[in-house]
Structure 1
């Protein structure tokens, strides 16, 4: 129930809070809008195949209702180029333009589109317009501009033919161009030239209005109508009458449904885009759902009061802002001024030649092709370029309602494609070891892969992320450990958890493991609730600052770094010696089952003080040995143990020690191959020895 006051009772709030100090500036801005809106209403209605008065009625009804129920203070709602082109394209197969059935269908189209827009507003679907690429609007508007320009050439030349589609129009123009009417062509080209000239002189001048008035004066003065120049003719005066619409004609509703959806969608995207653009200059906060309702109410009002579908106009909205309008009432005043002007100037409008209107439309159509924006899109992302080209091509070659919907569906498909294929890339530290960056040309650690997931881990992306990680693992098969950086994963679902479980299983089956850093709280909560956190282990979720340090000293195998690899990726491994030993070093990663015997630090301590103490061999590097070692130990670095003859006793227990146990395990395997069968490994290495408080010998 709270939605109704918020969305439908906006006029009450607007009128209650209106300040009288805004009255004068709003009326002046409304007068400025009316000067532009009046000729556009006439021109656009003819473009839609409708009589001029329907454009006037749309400008009045939609303009007032859209202002009162909309969210923007400056967005002007009324007849537009794109809506008019769509109306003609949708209705031409159903009825002849200008006939009563055609006019009734146009009103029905407005009502249906309005209902769809209101439904979207009530459903809080205003956010959906953010998923329609601007490339759709740019491509559609450019294509519509071409269609308008080509379609109006026949009226400019007063050629009598009907055509369906761009190609048919071009063919018939080429066949009949020799029959052009000179006087009509002169009026049309003169109107277009005058508009362009006035633009260069002063953009604030109402070029279309001046051009139409001068063309009408020329027709009246020289009686050009008698010489074959087609004119608009007398328009009915009075207020917008209620239309008799076939509201219960289900067959007609079925035929119009696709077109109504296209008009609703493109109109909403167009109106909200314009409103956002204007709001970025005015600083006004907008409510997309309120704007949906406002646009819906405006279209219903236009349809019921003998108009046709309407939308937001960028040039009129920008003019409203430039004219210093302070509230939506400026648009209300603009529509009222159009109505007054029509009642007063109706007889004069009858003399306006159709060719002059064609000239005005051709100039406007040229302006619809935003060449700079098209160039920017062309130079930008490939996806945006493809969407623009497809929408433009579809607009030129297909019925417009299908062109619009194809462009919108393609932009949605592009969005889904992008979100379902987030980047999964291997990163390494920068030269200062401060940031992780993507540097594909730099070597990676042979043991640890560090991977950024740049996107959400949801059902649409889970498979792609898993396959990408598997591909990275296949590319670097020696990397048995993986650290996933998940600061860009804002959302994860059960499919994402299954993908992580599969990745964890992949690495653990190969004797490695997976660790996580920078996991967001919402994702971590899901991991805990699904038992993934428990299965992985709390110690596998590391802080960003100490993650590599922990893995380097507690997980990774330093023997691989020292004896096999000359790659030094992390800060912690910069001081490790390079493997330049002159002889090949063979490190056995996998030990035969049951070969290793371990001895705990306290047990070794006790045996060293008993009879027949074991021989302790520390296989670390000399610099490590000097920092601290078992007092009775002798230092035989692993490389020497693997490459030089040994003189160790066979009749005593040999205990091998290293930092954490991995190098000593390899040493045990090597000694076993040389006939030393009475060997053991210090459990946990020197780290465990020190943790037990047994460290005494320090050089």
Structure 2
């Protein structure tokens, strides 16, 4: 049995890693305080809950997680999913809403723990990269426009992005110029800091800028929305109130967050692990994130995962072990105890600016272009997922994308690639006649290579291909099936092959199978085929050689 992850790094800790871990822990904490509050606002939670979600979960992940640099906490896409799943059920920010968010966090944690225990980390490999790229791109746009009311300083009732834009256009005369100035100024300031003073966290600079502006000019009296009183002190332990009805209602959202959150987290963790040359365990990562969410639910948080930007900052700042994340959590706890009063004058426009700048890089149009160039069907999957998420909804969009990608996969597997082979005398090999027109064929012989596993859904297509060859070659006397590309065959397809052989025999056409792979031969052997029919190579038959 493997020992807990924290024992693996704690008992072998190297003193030379301490400086980098401390530096990274401090920098990420400075970055996470404003981000945590901003993402809490995005999730429909009070800002302080973003700080709660950035403490206990980080400490718990360090116990089981296998990534040494992953920065766990609130992230934009998951926060949006929280809002999308709970806002139809309760008023954002209300006690009922917070309770539902806590229950949702617990559900996500339990599901991830179960998946880790059952070693189901492989499931995420069934999610198409095109679907994830399109979903995050559309979600980034939705997130950015969801902050429009804070940027413009006007109330917007519409939830749908397109309707929200239309409503905002009709209220341009009501825009609070101070709120707009603060938002644009914050974005500009963060870009300048990133360009010229990269050592200084841009969000912190924006927070100080916004607080100073509101305080000096008393802008809260001029319609600028501010955070106000932020409760101080550490989060208290509380048991979530759970009912079966709530669990069933939140289950689709919990499953969506589980998969999306894990994929975002594992993808980033894997990138860093490759650079640092250590191995990750998908199942143990699930367990680590599951413990972080399940445990965090007892301290007023909302669902968390590993974030792209913070993990990158953590790694670039010198983090070598999870001690960096523990230092981050301790510093945020100190903020909760001593410094929450400093955020009283923080304008919501600054938090909106932080969110917008954090998510714009998630819009991956370059990936869409690349997919269309390499494989148009993947590009089409991207477009369908993107449009569905943007127009229909966040949860519906990811489901539509996944279902559509699976349908495409099924369709493609039902129509596998096949190639008629011809003989190249100069090289003494058989090749696809469409790619090598000079390859020689014979009128009475048809050589077909099947480049896919044979199973019940695609055997019919292969039979149609043979019937077509019989129609096109009226003098056909010999069919050679090249199974070099057939890695497996099910019982139904095997019966179909036997049926082809019998049917073509009655027409006076012989069928020979060559280049069988071991697993395929085993199945044919169990079906009673003769050994001499199972080991033939195309050179043994040489159907097209003069």
TM-score (normalizing by structure 2) = 0.94
Q: How many pairs align?
A: 543
What pairs up with 1:5-404 in 2 under 5 angstroms? 5-6=1-2, 9-247=4-242, 249-404=243-398
- TM-aligned CA deviation for residue 357 of structure 1: 1.5
The match for 1:444 among 438, 441, 446 is 441
Could you give the per-residue CA deviations for residues 580-635 of structure 1, whole angstroms, max 9, x where no partner exists? Answer: xxxxxxxxxxxxxxxxxxxxxxxxxxxxxxxxxxxxxxxxxxxxxxxxxxxxxxxx
* Residues 224 and 422 of structure 1: CA distance in aligned 2, closer, same or farther (over 3 Å): same
- TM-aligned CA deviation for residue 337 of structure 1: 2.4
CA distance in 2, matches of 1:321, 1:57: 23
What pairs up with 1:652-691 in 2 under 5 angstroms? none
CA distance in 2, matches of 1:233, 1:81: 23
- TM-aligned CA deviation for residue 21 of structure 1: 4.1
Structure label with greater radius of gyration: 1
Higher relative contact order (CA 8 A, sep 6+): 2
* Residues 328 and 472 of structure 1: CA distance in aligned 2, closer, same or farther (over 3 Å): farther
| Structure 1 contact 480–507 (Cα < 8 Å) conserved | no
CA distance in 1, matches of 2:337, 2:430: 70
Could you give the per-residue CA deviations for residues 7-52 of structure 1, whole angstroms, max 9, x where no partner exists? Answer: x843344434444443332222222322322221111111111111
Q: List runs of 5+ in structure 2 lacking aligned partners.
A: none
The match for 1:504 among 496, 501, 504 is 501
TM-score (normalizing by structure 1) = 0.74
* Residues 487 and 334 of structure 1: CA distance in aligned 2, closer, same or farther (over 3 Å): farther
Could you give the per-residue CA deviations for residues 375-432 of structure 1, whole angstroms, max 9, x where no partner exists? Answer: 2123232221122112111211223222222222333333333333321221223463
The match for 1:478 among 475, 479, 491 is 475
- TM-aligned CA deviation for residue 539 of structure 1: 4.6
Could you give the per-residue CA deviations for residues 669-695 of structure 1, whole angstroms, max 9, x where no partner exists? Answer: xxxxxxxxxxxxxxxxxxxxxxxxxxx
* Residues 425 and 178 of structure 1: CA distance in aligned 2, closer, same or farther (over 3 Å): same
* Residues 328 and 89 of structure 1: CA distance in aligned 2, closer, same or farther (over 3 Å): same
* Residues 317 and 467 of structure 1: CA distance in aligned 2, closer, same or farther (over 3 Å): farther
CA distance in 1, matches of 2:141, 2:15: 45
* Residues 509 and 135 of structure 1: CA distance in aligned 2, closer, same or farther (over 3 Å): same
* Residues 86 and 523 of structure 1: CA distance in aligned 2, closer, same or farther (over 3 Å): same
| Structure 1 contact 66–76 (Cα < 8 Å) conserved | no
| Structure 1 contact 232–354 (Cα < 8 Å) conserved | yes
CA distance in 1, matches of 2:278, 2:393: 37
Mean alpha-carbon deviation: is it higher for 310-319 or for 430-439? 430-439
Q: Which residue of 1 aligns with 2:526?
A: 529
| Structure 1 contact 514–540 (Cα < 8 Å) conserved | no
Higher helix share: 2
Q: List runs of 5+ in structure 1 lacking aligned partners.
A: 552-569, 574-699
CA distance in 1, matches of 2:187, 2:234: 31
